[in-house]
Amino acid sequence: MTPLVWSELTAAEQRAALARPAARRSPELVAGVTAIIEEVRDGGWNALVRIAERIDGRAPEKVTVAPIAAAARAALPPQDVAAIELAARNISAFHEASRPSDTLVETMPGLTVEKAWRPLDRVGLYVPGGATPLFSTLLMLALPARAAGVSEIIVVTPPSEHGLAPAIALAAELCGIQAVWTVGGAQAVAALAFGAGDIPAVPKVCGPGNAWVAEAKTQVSALPGGPAIDMPAGPSELMVIADEGASPSMVAADLLSQAEHDASAQVLLVTTDAILAARIAEEVAQQVAMLPRADLARQSLEHGRTIIARSLDEAAVIANTYAPEHLCLAVDNPEPMVRAVSNAGAIFAGHAAAESFGDYLAGSSHVLPTDGAARAWSGITVQSFMKAISIQRVSVEAGRALAAPAAALARLEALEAHARAAEARAG
């Protein structure tokens, strides 16, 4: 992570400094995902089984949660179970309190317009699994969906060595989910999009994943009649903005916490202090050697950058340009920067705000937009699992008052039938 002085870079060099890893959307990956989607769409359950056996080594299975969750409760240390339950309580509390209220406005006498929120009937949730089953992601998806009032939640996750990971089963039980499908990758997204066997098609697919999963979500959502998706949510990314008051060891730990996720993950350090940057680099080198996933973290660090900014104001500009999934403000006075940053999935304000707290139990969802999508997309909220319906109520008197101006506006657009429909209410 050789330091780059932002003010000395050309515009092209600045773009290159903030570029995401190219492997996230290589032509080979795009073509591979397209082939999987088409195979599942055309071949249904049998195609899904073939692909899953080839990639995961086993056929998809609908696994009942209760017995595995009970075994997990018995096997896990009590403090681990208590930590999962604390996370579930905090996530539920935040999202229950975040439910949107209906809005009713009388825009003129006799005319009211209402925005009424309704839960989606069914959603599909993708939970990363396999070697690192992310039970926390299930909590971060299913509990907001429950708070929204979704009646049917379909969960898919890559199988672990023995099928469904115990921690995911326990998380599912806490979310009121009775069964989970052990199937992952682009094939799982395709199954949710089109339906396959007993896996029903869903109107919306939510959840993060690797580059294959992210690309599959993008492709199925672009198809005619395809499902909506929550957001682009691919490999993890983190930017840390640090001033001279930051702890080099804590900043290094935060950077590595995301680097260990995936070889395509990206971590960036922006600081006003070149000496601090060197100390953080030393800490990263020391700490990465002690990680169980050191090789993976080192691959991720190859995509990392250290950027020297002239001021925290310039650092905020860099953050808004990059639009990180996670943004840690390791600065003494974070509030001015909180107000200055408009493009970020989640902000962790101040030295004590570890990104890991947000990953597990602060309360807001850790499912966040990546690849710059934070410029326009939000992370998972209760509203992610709801839709707003507008309702117009018009009295006879208001209908008469509206008829002539509505007809005039329609004729300005050369839509005569619209005008006549309005005039029919003139009385």
The rounded mean pLDDT for the chain is 96
Strands (E), 287-385: 305-308, 326-330, 346-349
- Burial (CB count <10 Å: 0-12, 13-18, 19+), residue 97: exposed
Same domain, 179 and 30: yes
Residue with tokens 């957001």: 231
Question: 364-401 as b/e, with b when 16 or more CB fall inside 10 Å?
Answer: bbbbbbbbbbbeebbbbbbbbbbeeeeeeebeeebbeb
Is 373 a member of any domain?
Answer: no
C-beta of residue 355 within 8 angstroms of C-beta of residue 258 = yes
C-beta of residue 201 within 8 angstroms of C-beta of residue 339 = no
d(CA 349, CA 237) in angstroms, rounded, equals: 17
Same domain, 350 and 412: no
d(CA 177, CA 188) in angstroms, rounded, equals: 18
Is 328 a member of any domain?
Answer: yes
- Burial (CB count <10 Å: 0-12, 13-18, 19+), residue 10: exposed
- Sign for the CA dihedral angle at 128, 131, 136, 139 comes to positive
C-beta of residue 364 within 8 angstroms of C-beta of residue 141 = no
d(CA 65, CA 59) in angstroms, rounded, equals: 18
Q: Of 345, 363, 381, which residue is a domain's last?
A: 363
* Tens of pLDDT, residues 277-296: 999 999 999 999 999 999 99
d(CA 108, CA 129) in angstroms, rounded, equals: 54
Same domain, 129 and 189: yes
Same domain, 71 and 197: yes
Indicate if the pLDDT at residue 23 is higher than 80.
no
Least confident of 158-167, 380-389, 394-403: 158-167
The set of catalytic residues is 325-326
Same domain, 70 and 119: yes
Across the beta sheet with 204-206, the strand order is: 62-64, 179-182, 152-157, 122-126, 204-206, 228-229
Looking at residue 1, its pLDDT comes to: 66
Pairing of β 152-157 and β 179-182: parallel
Q: What share of the chain is helix, strand, coil (3-state, %, to 5)?
A: 50, 20, 35
Indicate if the pLDDT at residue 64 is higher than 70.
yes
Same domain, 260 and 170: no
Is 374 a member of any domain?
Answer: no
Same domain, 298 and 352: yes
Same domain, 217 and 342: no
Span 67-94, average pLDDT: 97
Question: If phi over 0 gives left and psi between -120 and 50 gives alpha, with beta otherwise, what is residue 57?
Answer: left
d(CA 200, CA 213) in angstroms, rounded, equals: 18
Is 304 a member of any domain?
Answer: yes
Span 235-247, average pLDDT: 96
C-beta of residue 243 within 8 angstroms of C-beta of residue 332 = yes
C-beta of residue 175 within 8 angstroms of C-beta of residue 210 = no
For 6, how many CA atoms within 13 A lie in the half-sphere containing its CB?
Answer: 26
Is 45 a member of any domain?
Answer: yes
Looking at residue 2, its pLDDT comes to: 75
* Tens of pLDDT, residues 309-329: 999 999 999 999 999 999 999
Looking at residue 352, its pLDDT comes to: 97
Is 109 a member of any domain?
Answer: no
Is 387 a member of any domain?
Answer: no
Q: How many structural domains is the chain composed of? A: 3
Looking at residue 311, its pLDDT comes to: 97
Looking at residue 91, its pLDDT comes to: 98
CB atoms within 10 A of CB 75: 11
Same domain, 184 and 253: no
CB atoms within 10 A of CB 339: 9
Q: Which residue has the higher pLDDT, 93 or 26?
A: 93
Q: Which two tokens stand for residue 124?
A: 């599909």
Span 8-36, average pLDDT: 93
Looking at residue 179, its pLDDT comes to: 98
Looking at residue 350, its pLDDT comes to: 98
* Residue 277: C-alpha distances to residues 74, 109, 209, 415 (Å): 46, 63, 31, 64
Is 385 a member of any domain?
Answer: no
Q: Identify the band that residue 132 occupies on the pLDDT scale cut at 50, 70 and 90.
A: confident
Span 44-52, average pLDDT: 98
d(CA 422, CA 406) in angstroms, rounded, equals: 6
C-beta of residue 272 within 8 angstroms of C-beta of residue 243 = yes
Same domain, 331 and 403: no
Q: Identify the band that residue 25 occupies on the pLDDT scale cut at 50, 70 and 90.
A: confident
> What is the share, in percent, of the chain residues with pLDDT greater than 90?
93
Q: Of 312, 344, 363, which residue is a domain's last?
A: 363
Q: Which residue has the higher pLDDT, 211 or 142?
A: 142
* Residue 166: C-alpha distances to residues 264, 304, 358 (Å): 27, 34, 22
Phi, psi of 249 (to 5 degrees): -70, -40
Q: Which two tokens stand for residue 168?
A: 């995911």
Domain of residue 89, CATH code:
3.40.50.1980
What's the domain range around 308? Answer: 3-21+235-363
Span 160-178, average pLDDT: 93
Same domain, 275 and 336: yes
Indicate if the pLDDT at residue 388 is higher than 70.
yes
Q: Of 171, 201, 231, which residue is a domain's last?
A: 231
What DSSP designation does 104 have? E
Same domain, 29 and 175: yes
For 26, how many CA atoms within 13 A lie in the half-sphere containing its CB?
Answer: 7
